[in-house]
Amino acid sequence: MKSASKSSINNAMKNDMTYKGYTASMEFDSDDRILVGRVLHIDDIISFHGDSVAEFEAAFHDSVDGYVASCEKLGQVPGKPASGRMMLRVNPSVHAAALQASAKAHQSLNKWVEQVLRHAAHV
């Protein structure tokens, strides 16, 4: 298991980095010749940059740590990205109806529920 204090750079084709559950985009700004990043999948805007991968990574860590500390200081809960996993408790008759509907749609229950949630959330 990876240490929480270390970040991991994902596949070079994806150009993203993770730290403490937060994911940041990583793009090269050819005009300023810097790496520019933004924390993804949260409502708040957290952006940073670095002249090298090492500086970028340090700026990412500092930005996430500063964001969490600022939220705590203000008595707010820091935004956290969704993991994509949900545990739901529903009435057994709703569960049975969902199973039937997903089978009728020739989809797994997970795919069917994802479509229903996507539609309901207007995503």
The range of the structural domain enclosing residue 93 comes to: 86-123
Per DSSP, 12 falls in state: T
pTM above 0.95, yes or no: no
Tell whether 70 and 93 lie within a shared domain. Answer: no
pLDDT exceeding 70 applies to what percent of the chain?
A: 89
CB atoms within 10 A of CB 43: 5
The answer to whether residue 80 is domain-embedded is no
The answer to whether residue 3 is domain-embedded is no
Query: pLDDT digits over 65-83, tens only?
Result: 999 999 999 999 999 888 7
Q: Are 46 and 64 in contact (CB under 8 A)?
A: yes
3-state secondary structure (DSSP) of residue 115: helix
